[in-house]
Structure 1
């Protein structure tokens, strides 16, 4: 599913409640193998979670997530690891995404460099979709990256 959006207005302040719909244990498929994700409920100033990707009964990639509350909204931080817990990013670096906006069961984040946007969306009570967007001809074009079921 591809969705295009025009450039949006400056970010509004948000809260962890805007991404609380992530909570739970989720299963899907990606690149010919199973994918599993889990996120905690908001507690204090954070939400934590993971994604585990596998193929042929072996791990291919792990992603660890932290959403931390800031004065302008939640910030999503992601670190990627290869099997053996070998970090992809430098030791003290993480992909960071700032909060842009949220609606009913939907939150939009933008990577610090402004090149990628991520939508977290609960489409049905038991379905969670993560979309990745890139700027094309002045419009943000989003495609489903991960589709999970509870």
Structure 2
């Protein structure tokens, strides 16, 4: 009888461990490659993303208002054993860093499907959704839990620059 419970426990632990560590690949983010534009807070916003190459990809966002820069964001996405990890740094005009030197924002992979990827901010109950909504449009949305479900609100809507 004890052997039965031991085997049952090992099977359960194995299933739980496989669910606890989602896997994904940097190629799941290929849909955001390119040059994108939109508007945010009354000004233009521009994003450029490289193609996934090897174990990484890189991107940036530039936000402006009244023809002046308001914020730069630099993204580095790297493949790990647990899936892609997004690291983000924010810079004010003059390339003044907002995060501490050794502490970029860090987002771990949650899930991906065709044209969609979700990451969760380390140490915060915040998720970021990258989602292709049309052939030449993708959205970055922020998610928070409400009543036990993740609810996402669009933050940036981008259209591909042709």
| Pair in the same fold by TM > 0.5 | yes
Number of matched residues?
A: 142
The structure whose RCO (Cα within 8 Å, separation 6+) is larger is 1
Task: Work out the CA distance in 1 between the residues paired with 2:94 and 2:103.
Answer: 19
**Which of 48, 62, 67 is 1:52 aligned to?**
62
The one of 127, 131, 140 equivalent to 1:121 is: 131
CA distance in 2, matches of 1:87, 1:66: 15
Equivalent residue, structure 1, for 2:37: 27
SS at match of 1:99: strand
Question: For 1:3-82, what aligned pairs fall within 5 Å after superposition?
Answer: 10-82=20-92
2-structure distance, mates of 1:120, 1:43: 19
Instruction: Tell me the distance in 2 between the aligned counterparts of 1:149 and 1:59.
Output: 20
TM-score by length of 1: 0.92
Q: Which is richer in helix? A: 2
Which residue of structure 2 lines up, in the alignment, with residue 83 of structure 1? 93
- RMSD over aligned CA atoms reads 1.0
Moved over 2 A (4+): none
**Greater Rg by CA:** 2
Q: CA deviation at 1:141?
A: 1.1
Normalising by structure 2, report the TM-score.
0.85
Richer in strand (by share): 1
Gaps of 5+ in 2: 1-18
Unmatched 5+ residue regions in structure 1?
1-8
| 2:159 corresponds to | 149
